[in-house]
C-alpha cells in the first residue's frame, strides 16, 4: 500500500511539473509547416502573437484550457505559413488600386476609352497616374499622347507601363513639367520622339524623372497603405519587402498601431549613409517594421527594351539595352553600403546586367571581408548560363517573381529569341545549382497574389494559354519548392528565418488557411484556390465571408 501511495505521489508530481501552458487558440487541420524537421502536422497552439507548439492533434489538445478558442478546418483545407512577398512597391500598389485599370486593355481603342471613362469621374485638374498598361496586348505599338489628349484635356496624365520602366505623359503633363520638343536626351533613359521630332509622351527609365508629378499628401499615403494591407491580406500575404520609399508612412502607421502587414523596408542605395545613421540612432526595428535594406537599379526591363544584354535584341538588332548607372559608381555605392553592414538588393534583368552585378558583389565581398551579407539580385530574369552556378557560389539570393514568367512568356521569344529564353526565369536551374530562390510579386507591376505565383512557377503556363504544358517547361519547380520560396526562403532573404517563414514553436503566429490542399489538386487549379483566413501575430486580419 505504501508503494502505491508513493508512486501515485510521483505521478501527481510529474503531472504538475509537465503542466502545459494554456493556449489562446488551438488550430486543428492539415498543416504544412515549412519546417524541414517537421514538415507536416495536425495541430498548432498559439499564445499571444507566438506559436506555442506544433504537433499531432493529441499533443496540441493538451494546451487547450478553459478559455482557449478551438479552430478546426475541413479535411480538404490546407494551413501554411503566412506568405512573404519579397518584392513590392507597396504604397504605390495601394494607389494603383484606386486608379485607371489598363493592364488588360486589348486594343488602342479600349486603352483610350478606359482613360476617357476614368477621367470623367475625376475633378478637373486631378492627375491620372499608375495604369499599368501593356502595349504587347495590341501587338507592340507604343501609345502616344496624341491618342489621349482629346479625352484628357482637363487632366494631366502620367501612366506607367506595367513594368514601371516607361510611362506616357499627355500634353497637359508635359506643359506642367515644362517639357518641350527641345528637351535633351537623358543618359540611362530614352525619350521617344516621332519622325518629325515631336515628343510622343513616352519616357523610359532615367528619362521618367523629367516629368514632375505633385507628391501625394500624407493622408493620401496613409489611405493607400491601408488599402494595400487590406488587399494583400485577402491573398494570404502577412509580410512584404518594400523596395524603397514611404518609410515615414510606415513609421506613422506603426506608431498608431495600424500595421496589419509586417514590413521590411529601406531606402535607395544612394541614401545608404542616411539609413546607416538611422539604424545607429534607433535600431533596425521590430517584428512589425524593420529597416536595413537598400535598393538600386542596374538596367531597365525586357518589355521596354532597356534591359542590358550582351547581344542585341532579336527584334531590334541595333539595340542591346543599357545600364541606368555607371558600373564604377555602382561598385562604389555597393562597397560603401556593404561596409556599413547594410543589405543590398539590386535590380538586374538582362544577362549583361546580372553578370556585371555578380562581378561587383564578388569583388566587394572579397574586399570587405567575410560576413553574412545576403546580397540579393532582384528579378534575375535572363541569366547567362555560365552565371547560374555563381549564385550559389557567391551566396547571392535570387529574388524572383514567377508571375512575370507566364506574362512575359507570351512574347519574350520575339524579343530575345529561343536560346536566351532557355535560362529566362530559371527557377529549376538555380535550385539545382544550390542557390536560394525567394519569391515575390513586384506589385504594382504584377498581382500580389502568391497562389498566382505558385501556379506560375509550377506550371509555367502563359497567360494567353498558348503553352498549356509550360513555357520553357524544364524550368518548372514543385509545389513545395514554390511554397518555400514564398515562406522560409523569403524570410531568410530578410534575415528573419528565426522569426517567421515556418510554423514552429517560438515563431510568430502568422498563418494562412487555403480553401484546398494545393499539394493534392491539379496544378492547373492552384490559381483558383481562395484564401479563407489570414492571421498575423495570432490576430485574424482577413476572413472570407460566409466561411
pLDDT in tens for each of the 547 residues of the chain? 454 454 444 444 444 446 799 999 999 999 999 999 999 999 999 999 999 999 999 999 999 999 999 999 999 999 999 999 999 999 999 999 988 999 899 999 999 999 999 999 999 999 999 999 999 999 999 999 999 999 999 999 999 998 888 999 999 999 999 999 999 999 999 999 999 999 999 999 999 999 999 998 999 999 999 999 999 999 999 999 999 999 999 999 999 999 999 999 999 999 999 999 999 999 999 999 999 999 999 999 999 899 999 999 999 999 999 999 999 999 999 999 999 999 999 999 999 999 999 999 999 999 999 999 999 999 999 999 999 999 999 999 999 999 999 999 999 999 999 999 999 999 999 999 999 999 999 999 899 999 999 999 999 999 999 999 999 999 999 999 999 999 999 999 999 999 999 999 999 999 999 999 999 999 999 999 999 999 999 999 999 986 6
Which of 27, 20, 23, 29 is CA-nearest to residue 68? 23
DSSP secondary structure string for all residues of 254-267: HHTT---SEEEEEE
Contact indicator for 510, 534 with CB cutoff of 8 Å: no
Q: What share of the chain is helix, strand, coil (3-state, %, to 5)?
A: 35, 25, 40
State residue 460 phi and psi, 5-degree precision. 50, 30
pLDDT at position 3 is 47
Contact indicator for 241, 292 with CB cutoff of 8 Å: no
Supply 490's cell numbers: 523569403
The whole-angstrom separation of Cα 4 and Cα 176 is 92
Q: Are strands 40-47 and 50-55 parallel, antiparallel or unpaired?
A: antiparallel
pLDDT at position 153 is 93
pLDDT at position 52 is 98
pLDDT at position 18 is 60
Residue with cell 527557377: 427
CA-CA-CA-CA torsion for 397, 403, 408, 412, nearest 10 degrees?
A: 50
pLDDT at position 5 is 52
Supply 341's cell numbers: 553592414
State residue 237 phi and psi, 5-degree precision. -85, 125
Contact indicator for 298, 323 with CB cutoff of 8 Å: yes
Longest Cα pair distance anywhere in the chain, in angstroms? 109
CATH number of 2-72: 2.30.40.10
The whole-angstrom separation of Cα 247 and Cα 249 is 5
CATH 3.10.310.70 fits 90-210, yes or no: yes
Supply 50's cell numbers: 507566438
Q: In 3-state terms, what secondary structure has residue 338?
A: helix
Which of 136, 138, 213 is CA-nearest to residue 170? 213
Please, is 437 exposed, middle or buried when counting C-beta atoms within 10 Å of its C-beta (0-12, 13-18, 19+)?
A: buried
Residue with cell 524544364: 474
Contact indicator for 43, 530 with CB cutoff of 8 Å: no
pLDDT at position 162 is 86
Q: In 3-state terms, what secondary structure has residue 6?
A: helix
Structural domain boundaries in the chain: 2-72, 90-210
Helices then strands, counting H and E runs in the chain, come out as 18, 21
DSSP secondary structure string for all residues of 415-460: HHHHHHHTTBT-HHHHHHTT--EEE---BTSS---HHHHHHHHHH-
Amino acid at each position: 500500500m505504501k508503494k502505491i501511495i508513493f508512486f501515485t505521489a510521483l505521478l501527481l508530481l510529474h503531472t504538475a511539473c509537465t503542466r502545459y501552458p494554456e493556449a489562446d487558440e488551438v488550430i486543428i487541420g492539415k498543416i504544412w509547416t515549412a519546417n524541414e524537421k517537421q514538415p507536416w502536422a495536425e495541430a498548432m497552439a498559439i499564445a499571444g502573437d507566438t506559436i506555442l507548439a506544433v504537433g499531432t492533434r493529441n499533443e496540441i489538445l493538451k494546451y487547450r484550457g478553459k478559455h482557449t478558442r478551438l479552430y478546426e478546418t475541413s479535411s480538404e483545407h490546407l494551413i501554411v505559413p503566412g506568405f512573404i512577398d519579397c518584392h513590392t512597391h507597396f504604397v504605390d500598389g495601394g494607389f494603383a488600386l484606386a486608379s485607371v485599370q489598363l493592364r488588360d486593355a486589348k486594343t488602342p481603342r479600349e486603352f483610350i476609352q478606359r482613360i476617357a471613362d476614368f477621367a470623367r469621374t475625376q475633378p478637373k485638374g486631378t492627375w491620372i497616374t499608375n495604369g499599368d498598361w501593356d502595349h504587347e496586348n495590341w501587338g507592340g505599338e507604343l501609345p502616344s499622347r496624341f491618342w489621349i489628349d482629346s479625352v484628357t484635356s482637363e487632366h494631366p496624365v502620367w501612366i506607367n507601363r506595367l513594368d514601371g520602366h516607361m510611362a506616357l505623359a499627355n500634353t497637359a503633363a508635359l506643359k506642367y513639367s515644362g517639357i518641350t520638343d527641345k528637351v535633351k536626351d537623358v543618359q540611362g533613359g530614352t525619350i521617344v520622339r516621332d519622325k518629325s521630332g515631336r515628343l510622343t509622351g513616352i519616357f523610359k527609365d532615367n528619362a521618367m524623372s523629367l516629368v514632375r508629378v505633385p507628391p501625394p499628401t500624407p493622408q493620401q499615403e496613409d489611405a493607400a497603405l491601408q488599402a494595400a494591407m487590406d488587399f494583400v491580406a485577402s491573398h494570404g500575404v502577412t509580410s512584404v519587402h518594400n523596395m524603397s520609399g514611404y518609410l515615414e508612412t510606415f513609421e506613422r502607421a506603426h506608431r498608431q498601431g495600424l500595421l496589419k502587414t509586417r514590413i521590411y523596408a529601406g531606402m535607395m542605395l544612394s541614401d545608404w549613409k542616411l539609413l546607416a545613421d538611422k539604424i545607429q540612432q534607433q535600431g533596425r526595428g521590430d517584428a512589425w517594421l524593420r529597416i536595413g535594406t537598400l535598393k538600386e537599379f542596374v538596367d531597365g526591363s525586357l518589355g521596354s527594351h532597356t534591359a542590358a544584354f550582351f547581344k542585341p535584341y532579336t527584334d531590334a538588332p541595333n539595340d542591346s539595352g543599357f545600364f541606368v548607372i555607371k558600373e564604377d559608381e555602382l561598385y562604389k555605392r555597393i562597397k560603401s553600403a556593404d561596409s556599413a553592414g547594410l543589405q543590398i538588393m539590386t535590380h538586374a534583368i538582362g544577362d549583361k546586367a546580372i553578370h556585371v552585378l555578380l562581378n561587383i558583389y564578388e569583388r566587394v565581398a572579397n574586399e570587405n571581408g567575410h560576413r553574412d551579407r545576403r546580397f540579393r539580385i532582384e528579378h534575375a530574369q535572363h541569366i547567362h548560363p555560365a552565371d547560374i552556378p555563381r549564385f550559389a557560389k557567391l551566396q547571392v539570393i535570387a529574388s524572383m517573381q514567377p508571375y512575370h514568367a507566364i506574362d512575359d512568356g507570351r512574347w519574350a521569344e520575339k524579343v530575345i529569341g529561343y536560346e536566351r529564353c532557355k535560362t529566362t526565369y530559371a527557377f529549376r536551374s538555380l535550385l539545382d545549382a544550390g542557390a536560394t530562390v525567394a519569391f515575390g510579386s513586384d506589385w504594382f507591376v504584377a498581382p500580389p497574389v502568391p497562389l498566382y505565383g505558385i501556379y506560375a512557377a509550377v506550371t509555367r503556363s502563359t497567360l494567353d494559354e498558348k503553352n498549356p504544358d509550360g513555357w520553357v517547361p524544364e524550368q518548372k519547380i514543385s509545389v513545395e519548392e514554390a511554397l518555400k520560396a514564398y515562406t522560409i526562403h523569403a524570410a531568410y532573404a530578410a534575415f528573419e528565418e528565426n522569426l517567421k517563414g515556418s510554423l514552429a514553436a517560438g515563431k510568430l503566429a502568422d498563418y494562412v488557411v487555403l480553401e484546398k490542399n494545393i499539394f493534392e489538386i491539379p496544378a492547373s487549379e492552384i490559381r483558383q484556390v481562395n484564401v479563407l483566413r489570414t492571421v498575423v501575430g495570432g490576430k485574424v486580419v482577413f476572413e472570407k465571408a460566409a466561411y
